Amino acid sequence: MSDHITSAYDRDLESVEILITRMGGLVEQAILNAASAFEAQDEEAAQEVRRADRAIDALEDQLNEEAARIIALRAPMGVDLRALLSVIKISGNLERIGDYAKNMAKRTTVLASLPQVDGSAAALRRMAREVGRLLTDALDAYVRRDVELAREVLQRDADIDQMYNALFRELLTFMLEDPRNITPCMHLHFIAKNTERMGDHVTAIAEQVIYMVTGQHPDEDRPKGDNTSVDTSVPAV
């Protein structure tokens, strides 16, 4: 490959990395904003989260198009090809996390008119913030090509699962104690389950980092800490 072609190719790869970093930053902000809007029952802030999701969707489209263009034009091999294939998968996971944040914002509007459930807002905020920190580390692992940090992210997802399990049991208790709690608790469970699924998508990003760097997917199946037997959530929209 001539120096000119190599330089252009490097610029192509750098542009994709910049886009994935920008998309990741928007998703991190969406998680924090959705959690803050929920805790404050701020319907206008929740609406802003929903509007901001369009930028995340647009970046996913742009990334997929750019990665496909580079693959078609440059015919990369080895680690470069894995990097581009990983970008496509990572952008898809980021888009799904953004959808779940948008779903939290949608439920904020609904919950504003329902009775409050003591302690639930703080528990969900902690859970969302932990997911946000996990996503930050997964994106750092991507930028730094840090396999050890990516493996750490895989292990820490168990903390998210444990937080979800505890909140699920608490919501179930509230519903059993007073039937009037059933409707708000169902909405809260929807948010909790969506937040737990955000963590699953973060771990998928970490797995892609490991594949991108090593050429191999993680050997062991990641143990799931979600031991609840009921799933009342629906797919993100």
CATH number for the domain spanning 86: value is 1.20.58.220
User: Does residue 233 lie in a domain region?
Assistant: no
51 occurs within a structural domain? yes
**Structural domain total, the chain:** 1
Element housing 216 (H / E):
none
pLDDT at 104: 93
Q: 125: domain range?
A: 3-214
Q: What's residue 229's pLDDT?
A: 47
Q: What is the pLDDT along the chain (237 residues), one digit of tens a residue?
A: 555 456 777 888 889 999 999 999 999 999 999 999 998 889 999 999 999 999 999 999 999 999 999 999 888 888 889 999 999 999 999 999 999 999 999 988 888 888 888 888 888 989 999 999 999 999 999 999 999 999 999 999 999 999 999 999 999 999 999 999 999 999 999 999 999 999 999 999 999 999 999 998 887 555 555 666 444 444 443
| Cα–Cα distance measured from residue 168 to residue 227, given in angstroms and rounded to the nearest whole number | 10
* Number of alpha helices (DSSP H) and beta strands (DSSP E) in the chain: 6, 0
Q: pTM of this prediction?
A: 0.87
The single-letter DSSP state of residue 41 is T
Instruction: Please say whether the beta carbons of 218 and 151 come within 8 A.
Output: yes
